[in-house]
Structure 1
């Protein structure tokens, strides 16, 4: 330029790059749509299924103990003659009642911790990161088993237990993103105008990090379902008379010698489907946000 400055040239997107983006766009939409449809089916089965089906999951059908799938009992019965299909839907409701609030707890704690660490003084950031490293060094499943064995188990304690053990990875991510954004012009301008921590965090930083946070929240739900299923499989999750998918899987495996496969496959498939749905939704959102930035 005449004034001695260098202005970057405006480059047009090449036809090849534009075509590649068009080919990736349906794939991103397809992944997200598949995940949403699968999640909707699971929510309908677990939420409205028990009401629409109308069968008592605790009723004992003594004449049909360990009966295989039939028109009367689509997923057979267990060793007490209870309707396995009705129990599967009620177990899904119990699983989601714990997993989704636990993911919310982990999300809120991790986000707040990461924002405080990233926006705070350097000394505070170092202290909080050392504490975070210590928490991350603990084996999560072992900690869950330890506290699950000494804490009275109910939905509230399970939500708190799962949520408060799962926040560190998100906290580290939020802290790193906060450090990357805290020196940008809009944050510095807000500070010059007297904005405080809450205003900067909610008005500026959370908006910038929204795509990353939404994607990680979907992954957190899948992690909570898996963790709760693992605890229930070990007998430390949802307690009788209620049950969860992990509890049904554990009960079915106790009868594996009787070849009662209908008590093993459905809860295992439901755990897999729920984790697959959250993974597809997260990957679809991540792909869409990536395409939007290009």
Structure 2
């Protein structure tokens, strides 16, 4: 066979970007989970850098703040994590699907016990599913770093300028689209945080109140837990249900790396045992409770949590 020509396929960014914005996730509400996950990663990275001895002094208590401004129609997610320099913004924000996670973990392998959630570099762009404009204000932990402001209106064009930010960390501000105003309601944000981010290891604040549980029971050793701890956790996951018959605490690293707690409930005649009720997490981030393709059929009657990175 004679090869007539070889080359590289051309992709026009002005055409592909709208597809990413509209089709990245089925549910638009996922954007909040993705942005909060990025903030958690920034805080975990700061811990790793601190453990490596690259930061002098205390890094302070980690926290994520969500701020709503209905007059400006903005929703902001702020963290006091590692922050970014201008070069890092260009590298990790301006390049779609370029994740900083793998590169960072390789650099700080000895401190890599801190879990980094993101690996694909796409989650940030979920913000454009609900926002007409996205802005970033960030200041790196690095000595002498300058604060940076990045802005994009959903087109491939962006602006990079100086920022007035004075504290280490990052704030992502979304100017919401007219049809996405529901995400400016505190009750809606609380509901989404409880659904997706309830067990993230960092306190998440809204209106000066911590709105997530931020303690994953399955990450603890069974030796440190009491019967009441397990029952209280079950009641939290499945309110108004009879107490389970027994439970199994999973902490395995072979053949799969996973943690979890599986409960054996009291089955009633009207219960559909083919509908799974096990909640699937990835690094303490809720993914799905529709796990028919992941959970074997014989485990479908069980309830609880499975977490795998």
- Structure whose alpha-carbon radius of gyration is higher: 1
Structure 2-normalised TM-score? 0.26
Higher fraction of strand:
2
Structure 1-normalised TM-score? 0.27
Higher fraction of helix:
1
